[in-house]
Chains A and B, each alone.
Chain A
Amino acid sequence: MKNSTKALSLAVIAIIAVSSVGILLAGGYLNGGSGVKIVDMSGRAVQLNSTANRVVILESYWTEIACALGAQDKIVGIGTYVTSSVFIPDSVKNKTVVGNVFSGVNIETVLSLKPDLVIMDYGYGKAEDIVRSLEGAGVPVITLFAKNFADISNATIIIGQALGKAERAQSLASYINGLHSQLISNASRIPSQERPRVLICNLDVWKDGLIYTYSNTSWGNVVVDVGGINVAHGGFGDKSWVKVNMEQVLLWDPDIIVIVGRTQSVLSSQISSMNDTNWLSLRAVREGKVYPVLTGSYDLNSHLDWTPRMVVGELQLAALIQPDHFASVNWASVRDQLMGGYYGYLKS
């Protein structure tokens, strides 16, 4: 009995040890005596001497995650658009602005901040040139890019590891992953005949009368994840953003229209523009199933963004698109929990 207990204990310890190493490897993270090695989202192995204490972050969503992990004091420089986010404290927004991925960053400004790490997007704009210049000047760079919910979770883990907040990052990732998995699992059980046809779009982008639909994009795919049928997937499933005219929308005649925008005024102007005969001939408009939803980080009521708030946005869309199946979901309560648990810095 005694031997079997000892063997069982050893087996449990071995399993935990192997699992831990597995989790660390899966997260692209190893912290040994020689520093921290992180495999970022573009597959690059980045070696840091230790967890970063002075970091420059170019995008608002990664900055927001760093703040949610309690690492705002480590941020010494930010990207141009970070200052527009209401989810980032003024203490961070007042940091030196170094530029952005589109127009390029001032490498000298970055160097003058003496960062031990830069975190930024990859795959568009001048990202590659910026990474090359920074690494050439001896500054390690972690590149990230979010295409779906899993990427947000992964980015949270990576940022936490790089900034010495791995435990909190794991906790935050587990929290949002749990909610997301439960939502997807519940939605997958909805029969196809109960799935409404949804148009998710923006009418304000070009101001030229065209409708900017979200097809194979994160927001467009969330519609499907929460139990809807994205009408733009029919014919435009391989496209990200598709600009269509009113005739195409009339042809689709969706059951639900979700209008997205970054500010309340943008949403209001879009809703106002729908008050004409063309739009009124749509079933969704006649039945009052047009829902404005904030995206991004310009408004405290925005949830769909490349941050942990995404899970609240998903729940919000689920409640709009499948009210019968998600009647018990109180997304506002989840938002409050998330804000209370990880965004406490906003209160001050």
Chain B
Amino acid sequence: MSKKKLLVSALLLLPLPVLVASLFVGIYSIDPLTVLGILAKRLFGSSSTAPWPEVYETIVFNIRMPRVLLALVGGLALSVSGASLQGIFRNPLVDTYILGVSAGAGLGAALGIAYFPGVPGSVQALSFAMGFAAFFTTYTVAKSKGETPVISLVLAGVIVTALFSALLSIIKFFTESEKLAGVVYWMMGSLAVTGWGPLSQIAPLILAGFVVVFLMRWRINVLSMGDEEARALGVNVERDRFVVLLASTLMVSAFVSVAGIIGWIGLVVPHTVRMLLGTPDNRVVVPVSASLGAVFLMVADDLARSVASFELPVGVITTLVGAPFFLYLLKLRGGSAWK
């Protein structure tokens, strides 16, 4: 097995040990063997009386496990979305939120927080719906004479982001201080309060989006060559681009609706993967980005929930950890993989 294949295999398998290790991390001190015992009991359904306090099972299975899995699927969603969009936009600076999804989701969340307080699921539903609304607005605005040129999509995304951001500012301006604080904290992104409920709602959507992008990863390679070249190779550019955009939006909107806006992952992880593997080939960049994005967010969230007795915003940590690491890689490799 070549060195590169070995590296790819190692990166693809990395989420598993990180997932298990993340279950050991937390303020409540539970030794790893007990954590493994709890997992074994839950997974294999042992009916014997547990030698540990009941609260340990609550912590491992109801608090840590859904949160770690949410970080896993969230990191996957953001990084795969970033990788695929950078491919089809042929732009290394594009990240997950270029289509206005974050601005739309933020507006939806703010509407929920400001005007539907106490209505269960309102923030999540509105955030998801508005994220999608922003995407469709961008796509509709960019579409002209049956075509959606990449430059039009980028410009439309910038405009829609500005428009939704302005609407968000209006809501912030008119909302009461307690609700305003809620909006501000939502924008920082956090996995602080989760559970099996939100995870079970969004994980199928994210996995569905991922399967679509994964199956289309070679088409993303073709799309990244330019519209003319892609057409010449028999690819239905409009359809394929729309499907990838839709899948990316589905993944990101679903995750953001639960966790708020967590930036940087969609930009830094795909570039890191390209630099590590020395190739822009999306056939490997997409799955390895999924793997590394999951690892990145799991580790960032481990830090967010364990460095202090209270929660730190995970979005701040992804930036604080990601930016210097990305700079280091950039200095080391000079971004040659993108070229």
Contacts and interface: CB of A to CB of B under 8 A. Distances in A.
B58 A102 contact: no
A99 B310 contact: yes
Contacts of B308: 97
Interface in B193-248: 193, 195
Nearest to B118: A123
Given A103-B311, A125-B185, A108 B179 contact: no
A214 to B, nearest CB: 11
Given A97-B309, A106-B305, A108-B28, A137 B63 contact: yes
Given A126-B192, A128-B120, A241-B176, A136 B311 contact: no
Interface in A118-161: 123-126, 128-130, 132-133, 136-138
B311 A105 contact: yes
Interface residues of A, number: 32
Contacts of B118: 123, 128
B178 interface: yes
Given A112-B29, A124-B178, A128-B118, A104 B195 contact: no
Nearest to A134: B193
Given A111-B55, A126-B192, A126-B193, A106 B176 contact: no
A31 interface: no
Contacts of B185: 102-104, 125-126
A98 B28 CA distance: 12
Contacts of B173: 243
Contacts of B266: none
B310 A105 contact: yes
Contacts of A97: 308-310
Interface string A294-327: 0000000000000000000000000000000000
Contacts of B55: 111, 137-138
A96 B55 CA distance: 19
Contact of A103 (B29, B62, B117, B192): B192
Nearest to B181: A102
B283 to A, nearest CB: 39
B87 interface: no
A21 B127 CA distance: 48
B178 A106 contact: no
Given A105-B192, A128-B118, A130-B193, A98 B309 contact: yes
Given A105-B310, A241-B177, A137 B62 contact: yes
B192 A240 contact: no
Interface residues of B, number: 34
A80 B312 CA distance: 11
Contact of B188 (A100, A103, A130): A103
A88 to B, nearest CB: 17
A109 interface: yes
A45 interface: no
B311 A124 contact: no
B120 A136 contact: no
Contact of B195 (A108, A123, A136): A136
B108 interface: no
B88 to A, nearest CB: 35
B161 interface: no
Interface of A: 80, 96-100, 102-109, 111-112, 123-126, 128-130, 132-133, 136-138, 205, 240-241, 243
Interface of B: 26-29, 54-55, 58-59, 62-64, 117-118, 120, 173, 176-179, 181-182, 184-185, 188, 190, 192-193, 195, 305, 308-311, 313
25 contacts: A97-B309, A97-B310, A98-B310, A102-B181, A102-B182, A102-B185, A103-B185, A103-B190, A103-B192, A104-B311, A105-B193, A105-B311, A108-B59, A108-B64, A111-B55, A124-B182, A125-B178, A125-B182, A126-B192, A126-B193, A129-B193, A133-B193, A137-B55, A205-B177, A243-B173
Given A105-B310, A111-B59, A125-B182, 15 more contacts: A80-B310, A98-B310, A99-B311, A104-B190, A105-B193, A106-B192, A106-B309, A108-B64, A111-B63, A125-B181, A126-B182, A128-B120, A129-B193, A136-B195, A240-B176
